[in-house]
Amino acid sequence: MKKLKIGILGTSNHYLKRIVLPLKDTQFCESYAIGSRNIDKAADVAREFDIPLWYGSYDAVLEDDNVDMIYIPLPNHLHKEWVKKSIKAGKPVLCEKPLGMNTEEAKEMIKMAQDAGVPLMEGFMYMFHPMWQHARDIVCTNQIGDIQYIHTSFSYNNPSPSNIRNIPEYGGGALMDIGCYAISVPRFIFGREPVRVMALQTGHPAFGTDMHTSAIMDFDGPRATFTVSTTSQAFQKVDIVGTSGSITVHIPFNTYVDVPAKITVVDGIGSRDVEFPVSNAYGLMFDAFANAVIDGSSIPVPGVDAINNMKVVDAVRKSAETDGWVKI
């Protein structure tokens, strides 16, 4: 069975914590080369995790003819540069979310990829977890009635001034790092886009990033709300409430990979906890993307989804600045 050889740009903590091990168990792809501006760091990671090749630059990874696809876990402000370079090299790209710093960047990258015929996908891994597929199936088959509202809570406490998530020019802040998930979820569940948004942001007194962002998204009747924070206790939950029932996704994003995932479903019959076999959403996402590249089929999440998510991110920013509703 063909496996795509992945070139990884960077040795980020996110890659080491959440990606490197799942890639050992994927069916359609495998880690092949890793690049870092510090070749010793790339070598250390490669040796520890049995990655065959390492390079002292990102360009060297792109220049390797044996690399079949690129994974980009770089800081947000570097996504556009290296997505475009990957496309120019003819390498399919799986890029961490959010795809760009704003809607225009996302549009630019997607257009370039489409014009070149190179697959490009934004890495919202949660969509590939069986519990989220099941939750959407429950909604689509009207088991909890018409959805009235969705609320997402997502927070962590990161006090480090040097962390990329706390540096504004790197695309840091609660909205870009975790608010993009809270925007993606109702779009995924409703299967359509919000028509307007109102938001409130609180800036960090030292970092200049948004440390708290809250928003209301109007889906032309039903609504979705969220609060995300970088200075609060680590917590995450999604509640989906309909006219005759509800779904609670207890750990919706950083889902444990060594115990079954769980959602709670309440309907007219009663309440039940639904558990799912141990799964790694990142590995499932990589396999789904690689399989589409191998088959030449449509990628699982089309580029327009990244553009539409960034439109809402930009609208949240604008609403917080203008203190009013912003149409999408």
CATH number of residue 114's parent domain: 3.40.50.720
Shared-domain flag, residues 161 and 81: no
Shared-domain flag, residues 60 and 190: no
Q: What is d(CA 18, CA 20) in angstroms, rounded to the nearest whole number?
A: 6
Amino acid of residue 102: N
Mapped onto helix, strand or coil, the DSSP state of residue 283 is: helix
pLDDT of residue 12: 87
139 located within any domain? yes
| Burial class, 269, CB count within 10 angstroms (exposed 0-12 / middle 13-18 / buried 19+) | exposed
Shared-domain flag, residues 180 and 256: yes
291 located within any domain? no
- Chain-centroid distance, C-alpha 68: 22
| DSSP letter (8 states) at residue 267 | -
Q: Would the pTM of this model clear 0.85, i.e. be above it?
A: yes
The number of folded domains in the chain is 2
CB 7 within 8 A of CB 62: yes
Regions of the chain where pLDDT drops below 70 = 1
Q: Give the domain extent around 248.
A: 126-282+310-327
Shared-domain flag, residues 117 and 190: no
Amino acid of residue 223: R
CATH number of residue 257's parent domain: 3.30.360.10
Answer with the one of 124, 142, 163 that is the final residue of a domain: 124
Shared-domain flag, residues 178 and 104: no
Strands 261-266 and 271-276: antiparallel
Shared-domain flag, residues 209 and 65: no
Mapped onto helix, strand or coil, the DSSP state of residue 315 is: helix
Mapped onto helix, strand or coil, the DSSP state of residue 258 is: coil
213's CB contacts (< 8 A; 6+ apart) are 173, 174, 175, 179, 199, 200, 201, 202, 226, 227, 228, 229, 316, 320
Answer with the one of 124, 157, 177 that is the final residue of a domain: 124
CB 99 within 8 A of CB 176: no
278 located within any domain? yes
Strands 29-35 and 231-242: unpaired
Mapped onto helix, strand or coil, the DSSP state of residue 33 is: strand
pLDDT of residue 13: 86
Answer with the one of 76, 98, 124 that is the final residue of a domain: 124
pLDDT of residue 1: 66
User: What stretch of H or E contains 113?
Assistant: helix 103-116
208: left (phi over 0), alpha (psi -120 to 50) or beta: left
Spatial CA neighbour of 214 closest among 81, 130, 320: 320
| CA pseudo-torsion sign 47, 49, 51, 57 | negative
